[in-house]
Amino acid sequence: MIAYGAGPDGPGEGGGKVPPLSRRLLDGLDLLGGHLSAALERLLSGRHPYETVGWERALVDLEVLFGREVRPVLRESALLETEGRVRALLRDIRREDPFLQRWAADSLLARCCYLLCRLLRPRVVLETGVAYGVSSAFILAALQENGRGELHSVDLPPLRPRAGRFWGIAVPERLRGRWRLHRGASRRVLPGLLEELGEVDLFLHDSLHTLQNMRFELGAVWPRLRPGGAVLADDVERNAAFAELRGRGPLLWRVISDRERRPLHGPPAPVVFGLAVKPGSPAAPSARR
């Protein structure tokens, strides 16, 4: 049995803390607006027809870009241990958690997060969408292996009983020193946070997958992304936002479509996510920052 406790000490959440009423009302309005936008978009729009590549082909593309073999990274003990721990935890909490397990990052996206962190050796990683903190755990495990870097996560958890206990539960205590969790809708939090951070090395979008929200997040982050930095975006097939990013002239742009071999939860499922690398050297950022 996995031992687990309260969620991370984020702003107004975690550790048993309850957000003030005004904050909960604002969060509730943002959540309701997001659900309505997503439902309306599903009703009026079909899936965007992307040209895709499989996971193995994407690995070849990354090897060419970085000039090194990437498969040994996917066999590192830190990655394998994280996979095993997260898989066991999601199995153990299945009957009592307030989230939907489909919100957890799939195994291929999580592996890609770890891989890119190891290849880019980022100082600043930014993600939107947390839920259990599956992608957060893989990113932080890679940063720990690198011996540097911090993760900033932006998320608006559901206003459900006990949600705070499970928010970010997949991140072990020993990795939380590199983690800053920012509560709120990305449209409210990102502008100020990006101003504070100045530059980002890796960005993961895994929050509200509407055209408006994805367009906003990608548009806000891309100018702040360092040359050679990378963007990952989950569920890009839902709209054309990731296609628009191609118009900014990325060094590498791929939509990866494949099927999980060893899922972190549930049966093997199809996955689709996007990867884009900004022009410039994809080597690690200089030590001057």
Instruction: Look at residue 195 in the predicted model and tell me its pLDDT.
Output: 97
Confidence band for 36, pLDDT divided at 50, 70 and 90: confident
* Residue 35 vs residue 128, higher pLDDT: 128
Write out pLDDT tens, residues 229-262. 999 999 999 999 999 999 999 999 999 999 999 9
Instruction: Look at residue 23 in the predicted model and tell me its pLDDT.
Output: 66
pLDDT at residue 14 is higher than 50: no
Tell me how far apart the alpha carbons of residues 90 and 170 are, in angstroms, rounded to a whole number: 8
Average pLDDT across the chain, whole number: 86
Instruction: Look at residue 4 in the predicted model and tell me its pLDDT.
Output: 31
The residue to which tokens 């947390």 are assigned: 130
Instruction: Look at residue 50 in the predicted model and tell me its pLDDT.
Output: 95
The pTM of this model reads 0.86
| 121 CB-near residues (< 8 Å, 6+ apart) | 146, 148, 149, 284, 285
Residues in the chain: 289
By three-state DSSP, how is residue 122 classified? coil
